Homo-oligomer: A and B are copies of this chain.
Amino acid sequence: MQTWIRFRRPDGAIAHGRLDAAEADRVIEFDGPGYADPRPTGNEFRYASLQLLAPCQPGKIVALWNNFHALAARLEKSVPVHPLFLLKPASSLAGPGDAIERPAGYAGKIAYEGELGIVIGRECRNVPLDEAASHIFGYTIVNDVTAGELLNADPNFPQWTRAKGSDTFGCIGPAIVTGFDWRSASVVTRLDGVERQNYPLSDIVFSPEEQVSRLSQDMTLMPGDVIAVGTSIGVGSMKPGSVVEVSIGGIGSLVNHMRG
């Protein structure tokens, strides 16, 4: 397991790095993201001195709906036979600590959705299931922010991307962890310190490997692309100033707040 981050250095430059396995406060700088076969630059930093940024820069964020059995049961929907997804654009990206912004002209509720994120490491198209794992670089945490009242504002067309694609609605971080065992982990979401989601990833419908294989039949996935694997029960609304912390043991905690 390796932990990769993207950060702003004390001198203001944006850089990539890996946490030292033996000394967690030591960050070894590399000349690119972990999936790009980078080389050490020779620079090192103290973790505490860095401003963390979203750990990758996805060209697209593929966001799944109805991918946990418990949520499907709550919604009284059948489990899908193929991943159901929308795209959140690159412009929706936000990093650890960033403020979530209310879209101009929208006065409705804005929800948090704590999720596991898959980070693609190698370009993949039509990848068989047994080769899918080799295209996954690692795992991160996603808060798949949603302006829920936009979704069904038009009776003829569910506006999934409009509801989930606004700037700052794709919160990702704090790190990418390689070799992460998602099967034994849970997603825990706290709203202003109160636990609101706590669900096991083992309840997932399509495993990460199944998602990569099947989605790669629908479109080419590129290095740095993120798949937000879907959320489960416990989604709720944020208010101005609300702090949302999404934690997955072994990856860390992603903390964002609603602009007050």
Within 8 A of B (CB), among A189-221: 217-221
In contact, A167 and B125 (Cβ under 8 angstroms): yes
Q: Chain B nearest CB: distance from A107 CB in Å? A: 13
User: Given A165-B219, A217-B105, A157–B84 Cβ distance below 8 Å?
Assistant: yes
Contact with B along A80-101 (1 / 0, CB 8 A): 1110111101111000000000
Q: Tell me the nearest residue of chain B to A84, going by C-beta.
A: B157
Interface status of A66 (Cβ within 8 A of chain B): yes
In contact, B157 and A87 (Cβ under 8 angstroms): no
Per DSSP, chain A at the interface is loop
A contact residues, range: 35 or more
Interface status of A130 (Cβ within 8 A of chain B): no
User: Given A59-B89, A60-B89, A90-B59, A154–B81 Cβ distance below 8 Å?
Assistant: yes
In Å, the complex CA distance between A71 and B102 comes to 33
In Å, the complex CA distance between A91 and B87 comes to 12
User: Given A90-B60, A161-B87, A220-B167, A104–B126 Cβ distance below 8 Å?
Assistant: yes
Within 8 A of B (CB), among A57-84: 59-60, 65-66, 77-78, 80-82, 84
Interface status of A108 (Cβ within 8 A of chain B): no
In contact, B59 and A166 (Cβ under 8 angstroms): no
In Å, the complex CA distance between A104 and B104 comes to 40
In contact, A165 and B77 (Cβ under 8 angstroms): no
In contact, B60 and A219 (Cβ under 8 angstroms): no
In Å, the complex CA distance between A246 and B218 comes to 25
User: Given A59-B89, A104-B126, A80–B157 Cβ distance below 8 Å?
Assistant: yes
Q: Chain B nearest CB: distance from A92 CB in Å? A: 7
Q: Which of B80, B91, B156, B160 contacts A154 (CB 8 A)?
A: B80
In contact, A157 and B66 (Cβ under 8 angstroms): yes
- Which residues of the other chain, B, contact A221 by a CB distance below 8 angstroms? 91
- Which residues of the other chain, B, contact A220 by a CB distance below 8 angstroms? 91, 167
Residues of A within 8 A of B (CB): 59-60, 65-66, 77-78, 80-82, 84-87, 89-92, 103-105, 125-126, 153-154, 156-162, 165-167, 217-222
